[in-house]
Structure 1
């Protein structure tokens, strides 16, 4: 069985490049939103714990952001 392929270009290359750049930018923004959202959920979960529970984890309430974002901040 033979297959034929057609390589059609609807947009000129300069417009394809701009469109690719646009979607790459949108994608990076979406990834940042998802990352921030997941970390905000973690902050809220930790903040809902009592001070005694946090102390049992070696945390203080003021230290929650540093704990959640510890991979980004080398403190």
Structure 2
């Protein structure tokens, strides 16, 4: 899949995008895995936040399904890294 743009609401509408579960699945967020697997904006929106965004540039498609957890992503990346 190749994209040159990310359209508004793509995380909700584009079923080709594979997304991991965000922190809203935690006991504080209380959402189920499906509802926590898309972009939802900063929370809470009324306070200053510091966010860290990490991009991984890989030359292969990772075998993950929507709703994956962050530790699953790390495991797949490490497995891929050791094979190459």
TM-score by length of 2: 0.22
Higher relative CO (Cα under 8 Å, sequence separation at least 6) belongs to: 2
Return the index of the structure with the highest Cα Rg.
Answer: 1
TM-score by length of 1: 0.24
- Structure showing the higher helix proportion among its residues: 1
